[in-house]
Amino acid sequence: MSVSRAMTVVAGAALALAALATPGAALPSRHHTPRSVDAIWADPAARARAQQAGAPLFQKHCAQCHGADARGLAGHHTPDLTDDRWLFGGEDIDTFLIRASDIAFTIRHGIRSGDPRARNLAVMPALGVGHSLDPDEVAAVTEYVLKLSGQPFDATQIAAGRETFEGEGGCYDCHTVQGWGDAAIGSTDLTRPATYLYGHDRTAIAASITQGRAGVSPAFAGKLTPAEIRDLSIYVLARAKSRKYI
Ligand code: HEC
Ligand code: HEC
């Protein structure tokens, strides 16, 4: 190598090092901090690549609980991830649009997973234990939930059931007075029986109220790479029928 050629190489290396050391220096995008999952979502070509990479990851890490088709497995009490309803919402409280980063948060930290940042603001309390509600109250409020869900109900119990729902039972506080559920805490939309995770017949509803429910989705931080979590988030969001969480 000639001296001048060697000088050029050294100078080039020094420039590259200087660029690396300078915060915000313009480097080719491949060497940048990875793009945010929302930026990938917004770019059709990158989104398609992520979706493709996410599919086998979903089969490997999620399908055992969520089903190979992501539509939920009754025995695992998992929601249908492809329907138009989200149990948990997101950060965007102006448009109620769920973003890939909201799903990434759920995958990273889980739901009631034990991770300190898990989605865990509320569980369904066991209201039949410790006599919070007596058996008559449970029976009446069960009829009221059947009514809210559009199923056949015992009309003679509705006045008492409603009183419990909107009063002592505290149901309205977590599920709203209308029964719509609250995406901030992941409470069930009681008006849509198809979305119930634990069954929507009389026996199942009474059991949910009596013994409580607290579904768990594991935290994948540290088990999957950030890139894998991004690909999975985009795969899940792309399959959903609705990007609105309300
Ligand atoms: C502290 C908040 C809270 C209160 C109070 C509460 N719920 Fe819930 N409820 C939840 C949450 C959160 C879930 C979802 C649990 C899960 O996904 O595992 C839930 C789930 C349920 C379910 C099961 C739905 C399914 O997916 O199968 C029923 C039924 C239900 N609640 C009815 C009631 C009724 C009736 C009352 C009042 C007597 C009540 N809840 C009070 C938070 C609450
Ligand atoms: C061990 C079983 C299990 C595994 C494995 C699992 N999940 Fe879950 N997941 C659940 C359960 C149960 C729920 C419902 C939690 C509740 O009751 O609120 C859930 C809920 C979710 C939700 C919330 C959906 C909504 O409507 O808001 C998302 C998103 C999700 N899981 C994604 C994933 C992804 C992606 C993977 C794989 C990386 C995964 N989960 C792996 C059990 C699992």
**Ligand 1 atom, smallest distance to 186 CA:** 12
Report the distance separating Cα 50 and Cα 75, nearest Å. 30
Does 245 reside within a domain? no
Same domain, yes or no: 85 and 195: no
Tell me whether residue 62 is in a domain: yes
Residue 246 falls within a domain, yes or no?
Answer: no
Tokens 């060697």, residue? 6
The pLDDT, as a whole number, for residue 29 is: 53
pLDDT score of 4: 46
pLDDT at 34: 79
- Sequence-separated (6 or more) residues with CB below 8 Å from residue 110: 118, 119, 216, 217, 218, 219, 220
Which pLDDT score, from 0 to 100, does residue 42 have? Answer: 97
Residues 106 and 169 in one domain: no
- pLDDT under 70 in the chain at which residues? 1-32
- Expressed in angstroms and rounded, the spacing between residue 222 Cα and the centre of ligand 2 is 17
Tell how far the Cα of 50 is from the centroid of ligand 2, in angstroms: 19
Q: Which domain holds residue 47?
A: 37-121+217-239
Residue 130 confidence (pLDDT)? 87
According to the model, what pLDDT value does residue 30 have? 57
pLDDT recorded at residue 33: 72
pTM metric for this prediction: 0.89
Asked if 116 and 221 sit in the same domain, the reply is yes
Atom 23 of ligand 1, nearest CA residue: 208
Query: Which-ligand-closest: CA of 185?
Result: 1
CB burial readout 76-109, b (16+ within 10 A) else e: eebbbbbbebbbbbbeeeeeebbbbbbbbbbbbb
pLDDT reported for residue 157: 98
Q: Could you tell me if 134 and 196 lie in one domain?
A: yes
Q: Is 153 inside a domain boundary?
A: yes
Note whether 92 and 58 are same-domain residues. yes
The enclosing domain of 42 has a CATH number of 1.10.760.10
Tell me: do 113 and 233 sit in the same domain: yes
**What pLDDT does 11 receive?**
43
- Using CB distances shorter than 6 Å, the residues near ligand 1 are 122-125, 127, 141, 145, 164-165, 169-171, 173-175, 185-188, 196-198, 205, 208-209, 213-215
